[in-house]
Amino acid sequence: MTFQDFNLTPDLVEGLSAMGYTKPTPIQEQSIPVILHDRDLIACAQTGTGKTAAYLLPILHKIINSEHRHLNTLVIAPTRELALQIDQQIEALGYFINVSSITVYGGGSGVVWEQQKRAMQLGTDIVIATPGRLLSMLNVGDINFKHLEHLVLDEADRMLDMGFYDDIVRIISYLPEDRQTILFSATMPPKIRTLANQILKDPAEINIAISKPAEGILQMAYMTYDQQKFGLLKHIFQEKEYKSVIIFCSRKETVKRLAAELKRIIPSLHAFHSDLEQEQREEIMRNFKNKQLQVLVGTDILSRGIDVTGIDLVINYDVPPDGEDYIHRIGRTARAETTGTAITLINEMDQQRFASIERLIGREIPKTIIPAALGEGPAYTPGIRRSGGGGNGRGGGKPQQKRHGGNKHSHSGGGQQRHGGGGNGGGQNQNRQQGGEGGNPDGQKKHHNKPRHDGPRNGPRPQGDRPQGNDNNSTDKPAQ
């Protein structure tokens, strides 16, 4: 299945390919059609499965195709960190479209409250909020949700664990009855069922069970620049003798190139990819199973379905596309309760992805320092976004509304930032307004001129002023 199969707005699909999403994850495959068909949904999926895009993509599609634009979607998330991550995904997915969002979370001064309130009153498509602050705003009548069409509860089980059950029910009492409700939860304890019965109408149910890596796998990772990877592989093979090894690469071009280079030092090695004839593949696999062939360098076609015992090392030459692929790849070793080693090479660009894999499998993988002879590798700092998918510079501490996409409006006043088309400013100017930090390459920007909200707008805020909050609290539990 591809993203084209969902008939999403082409600008959204373009954003996906710019982000490097080549195919939908299982949760996306199942959720997107349900949400596009306006059906309520309860989905059991953990972080790392692609769950955020699973609900954002169809909602963004619906928003940009709706005739009247107003506060359309409310996403409730347990923590400020998650709210900000969701907002970043809207920014990235919505890079080529004209959609706005604002995060609302606890902490900060009265000024922050005013800014959040004002940005919402000025009009935004999506609000991402933590429950406590949102409820406080609703209680004083500062937000009007009368046109709301989508309610998303993200990580619902975590919100209930944090004691937000009653707050959520109260928030929902402010929302229109006629809405689509989408509930995502990593687990399905009885209280989630109770909540679902209370707030969802005839929901579709999706359950994405993720198996955890086998206990017998020793998982390791190296932080390394691409140009150090070959030297690192040599080091790994010199350090210990492995009988049966698979090296995974995400692209077959990399497989071919790497296999050709490695064959000079490891003669018993073969590439394995989809360009080979079926007969060749079968022969290679037979030799690998018989242990006549020591090393296979292959794409993810090797990661599923092949059951070869005795593989003692799996190397991820690059970080797999998602958590599931990681689990499938490393699951080639330590089969049938044996032990094995799985080593992942992480370059500076793949850190975020690796961090979400760690979240999915529920543990942090130790990062080993590369040998000094290879020079220094990059530091592991997954919290810092590097490029692509819209910038998110730090600092400022002012929660703002953002307009997603290439164009920025040039309205006066502070507090609002809108991403997406609809502006008429030139690319260079916009870049300056964004502070030029971490944005998508300018060459990829598109400028749309779609009509947007009628109300007054505040001026765009530099990306470096992205919301960070002024406090150290990551939630806005009612106690605040």
Q: Which is nearer to ligand AMP, 192 or 245 (CB)?
A: 192
Q: How far is the CB of 44 from ligand AMP (least distance, A)?
A: 13
* DSSP secondary structure letters along 25-40: -HHHHHHHHHHHTT--
Q: Which is nearer to ligand AMP, 157 or 465 (CB)?
A: 157
Token pair recorded at residue 325: 């692929």
Q: Is 92 exposed, middle or buried (0-12, 13-18, 19+ CB in 10 A)?
A: buried
Q: Is 439 exposed, middle or buried (0-12, 13-18, 19+ CB in 10 A)?
A: buried
304 Cα distance to chain centroid: 23
| Distance of closest approach, residue 26 Cβ to ligand AMP, in angstroms | 10
Q: Report how far residue 143's alpha carbon sits from residue 121's, in angstroms, rounded to the nearest whole number.
A: 7
CB of 356 to ligand AMP, least distance (A): 4
Interface residues with ligand AMP (CB under 6 A) are 21, 24-25, 28, 47-53, 321-322, 352-353, 356
Residue closer to ligand AMP, measured from CB, 54 or 258: 54
Q: Which is nearer to ligand AMP, 53 or 127 (CB)?
A: 53
**DSSP E strand boundaries for 118-251:** 126-129, 150-153, 180-185, 204-207, 217-223, 245-248
Which residues are bridge partners to 75 per DSSP?
A: 128, 152
Q: Would you say 28 or 407 has its CB closer to ligand AMP? A: 28
Residue 315 CB, nearest approach to ligand AMP (Å): 21
Query: CB burial class (10 A; 0-12, 13-18, 19+) of residue 150?
Result: buried
Tell me the closest approach of the beta carbon of residue 212 to ligand AMP, in angstroms. 16
**C-alpha dihedral, 114 to 120 to 123 to 129, nearest 10°:** 160
Closest CB to ligand AMP among 211 and 227? Answer: 211
Torsion-angle region of residue 158: left (phi > 0), alpha (psi -120 to 50) or beta?
A: alpha
- Least spacing, CB of residue 293 vs ligand AMP, in Å: 31
3-state secondary structure (DSSP) of residue 443: helix
Token digits for 34? 């349900």
Q: Which is nearer to ligand AMP, 252 or 353 (CB)?
A: 353
| CA gap 467, 463 in Å, rounded | 9
Select 348 or 471, whichever has its Cβ closest to ligand AMP: 348
- Give me the DSSP letters along 279-290: HHHHHHHHHHHT
Minimum CB–partner distance for residue 374 and ligand AMP (Å):
28
Nearest CA to 344 out of 211, 209, 250 is that of: 250
In three-state secondary structure terms, 74 is: strand
**SS3 of residue 98 by DSSP:** coil
Contact 327, 361 (CB under 8 A): yes
Amino acid identity of 153? L
Closest distance between ligand AMP and the C-beta of residue 353, in Å? Answer: 6
Residue 434 to residues 90, 249, 390, 410, 457, Cα–Cα distance (Å): 16, 35, 10, 12, 16
- Kindly tell me which of 24 and 106 has the beta carbon lying closer to ligand AMP: 24
Kindly state the smallest distance separating residue 28's Cβ from ligand AMP, in Å. 6
Q: Are the C-beta atoms of residues 262 and 233 closer than 8 Å to each other?
A: yes
Q: What's the closest the beta carbon of residue 268 comes to ligand AMP, in angstroms?
A: 33
- 376: number of CA atoms within 13 Å, CB side? 3
State which residue, 30 or 333, has the beta carbon closest to ligand AMP.
30
Residue with Cβ nearer ligand AMP (63 or 355): 355
Q: Of 261, 215, 223, 251, give the one whose Cα is nearest residue 343.
A: 223
C-beta of 80: minimal distance to ligand AMP in Å?
16
CB of 210 to ligand AMP, least distance (A): 10
- Output 79 or 430, the one with its CB closest to ligand AMP: 79
CB atoms under 10 Å from CB of 311, counted, come to 24
